[in-house]
Amino acid sequence: MLQANFLLLADFNWFSLIIASFFSLKFFSVRYYPWPVFDGTPLCG
């Protein structure tokens, strides 16, 4: 049970790391390459 919880936590950490890198990449592209259709939401850039 403890190993399963540890694997779940590690999987969540990987998922949050991927999401954080994706949002930082979107923020970088929006900040340095402003698209004319960007409406202020990070998913619609």
User: For residue range 2-17, what is the model confidence (pLDDT) as tens digits?
Assistant: 566 666 666 777 778 8
pTM over 0.75, yes/no: no
Mean of the per-residue pLDDT values of the chain: 64
Q: How sure is the predictor about 45, in pLDDT bands with cuts at 50, 70 and 90?
A: very low
- Gyration radius (Cα) of the chain, Å: 16
Give the span between the Cα atoms of 1 and 5, in whole angstroms.
6
User: Which pLDDT score, from 0 to 100, does residue 30 have?
Assistant: 58
Domain regions of the chain by residue span: 1-45
* Helix, strand, coil percentages for the chain (3-state, nearest 5): 70, 0, 30
